[in-house]
Amino acid sequence: MLGIIKLFQKEYYLAFTWLIITPILLLLPRILYNLYFKDEYYYNIVYFYELLILVLLITSAGMPLGLKNIDIDFDSFSHYLNLTLYTLLIGVTSYIIKYKDYKMPNKLNIIAFTLFFALIFCVVLWEQFQYFNDQIFGTQMFFDKFQDIRLDSLLDQAFGSMGVITGAIILYHKLEPWIKAWKK
């Protein structure tokens, strides 16, 4: 529905994102599981991915649906929660890919890679992505109604970094038990 709303508002970039990219993201875990992982993992791994993606989509949809217009700093909460979830997704996916090459990949190496990758690509470069999207497509991703954009960007990166660290701590404690529960 959000994609259709954005289409009528002539925000074609966001309409494309919500009408094309979002359904692909929602279907991707099932497709990949059936193509590559059904012989190695139980189906409950798909539920893990779908749940995290659904929460990411709900928090992401909240911004264009008006939560950015409420003075509750939903944006900082969204960056924290989303980066925690992205870190979990990146870490679990990295472990599963490495598991195909090595029967027991080094958990600390996976977490270090995930921490570095998420901080660079999902925290630092995300802010640049938002800024250039606004310049190229006329979106308002790099915008905050209630605070200076420099402060908003700093808070986004701070809360995103805390989310990455939280995700890394969760991975440290839960990665191997999760894999063990999902592995056939």
Cβ neighbours of residue 22 closer than 8 Å, sequence gap 6 or more: 3, 57
pLDDT 10s digits, 61-76: 766 666 666 666 777 8
Q: What is the pLDDT of residue 27?
A: 93
For 31-132, list the strands marked E by DSSP: none
In 9-73, which residue ranges form alpha helices assigned H by DSSP?
12-16, 22-32, 44-62
Tokens 């979002």, residue?
22
Would you call 11 helix, strand, or coil by DSSP? coil
The tens digit of pLDDT for each residue in 131-165 reads: 777 777 776 665 666 677 677 778 889 999 999 99
The stretches in the chain having pLDDT less than 50 are: none
Q: What is the extent of the structural domain holding 39?
A: 2-182
SS3 content of the chain, % helix, strand, coil (to 5): 80, 0, 20
Q: What is the pTM of this model?
A: 0.84
Domain count of the fold of the chain: 1
| CA distances from residue 107 to 48, 101, 103 in whole angstroms, order as listed | 19, 14, 12
Residue 166 is predicted with a pLDDT of: 98
